[in-house]
Chain A
Amino acid sequence: MAGTIALPQEIMPALQGAVPATIVTCALDGEPNVTTVSQVFSVDQNHVALSFQFFSKTIRNVRENPYVMVQVINPMDFSTWLLELRYDRTETEGPLFDDMDIKLEAIASMTGMSGIFKLRGADVYEVLSVKKAPWRRD
């Protein structure tokens, strides 16, 4: 298993929510699930947070099986990053939750989803691996 690693500075523009992220989870019965998330937030060098809103299958899967893969895109150069994460905890109050709530509402307003996005919790994940996907022409 990969150990906790630090997020490179190069990935930070991809964690600003300009382009929606994609998350893949897996239930304990083995069924994969893929969906979109509004933003992946940088918490510290080794952790990111995902907004817990209404994608309940993703939440159920993560509570059963903590391993997920997330794709984020840098809006400056369109580079694609893949993060292998492990669910750690959910925060339902405090500075991280409040910061995510404000940013989520901003994203909702910009995308015509105001009043639909509702933050229930900030799911914090440990970063197990991070790589730039070799999917694009340089």
Chain B
Amino acid sequence: MVMLPSDIVEFLHGPQIMALGTRDATLRPAMGRLLGAFAEGPTDRISFFLPNVQSEPHLTNLADNGLVAMTAGEARTHRNYQFKGRVVAVRASTAADAAIRDLYRDKLIRYFREEYFMPLPDEFIGGYISEPSTTITFRVAKIFNQTPGPNAGKPIDFVPAEG
């Protein structure tokens, strides 16, 4: 069984800022702001929550080519990873998904409240329209360290699954 590194999974489940990159058939990029992600069990797959208000052009792009780039980064420390892979499932977020998504939002609000001397208003995080959302799962093929510094851009030791 191929597994994502446990420390990175733990990080992914924390209050990180998350972004999505996809591209269309003409190689034009598109950007989205994700509202949480999770890696379920010993697996090489990550699922993330894309609010439906942001779903286009990403769903069209993913239907065209399936390619996902996703980052997760911590605001204070700048620790940051990029995950790349191919989509394997797209579904309307379930009630269980929504619970994880809302927990992520609350963790992120609490993080900013506690970590910054002058905390950003809760509206900074809480103002994003989250409902309804789509849950997108992709199989991770590559992980990159994107923390600023000498190791920025270096791949993380990770053996992806075949196929």
Contact = CB atoms under 8 A, between A and B. Distances in A.
Contact of B153 (A55, A116, A134): A55
Nearest to B20: A34
Interface string B18-49: 01111100011111010000000000000000
B19 A34 contact: yes
B23 A30 contact: yes
A92 to B, nearest CB: 20
B135 interface: no
Interface stretch (B3-11, B102-110, B120-128): B120-128
A116 B149 CA distance: 6
A12 B4 CA distance: 40
Contact of A22 (B19, B127, B128, B153): B19
Given A24-B29, A36-B73, A111 B78 contact: yes
Nearest to B83: A34
Interface residues of B, number: 36
B127 A34 contact: no
Contact of B31 (A24, A31, A116): A24
Contact of B67 (A32, A57, A80, A134): A32
A28 interface: yes
Contact of B127 (A54, A82, A134, A137): A137
A87 interface: no
B27 A135 contact: no
A82 to B, nearest CB: 7
Interface of A: 22-26, 28, 30-36, 54-57, 65, 67-71, 78, 80, 82, 84, 111-113, 116-117, 133-137
7 contacts: A24-B30, A32-B23, A34-B20, A34-B31, A82-B31, A135-B51, A135-B129
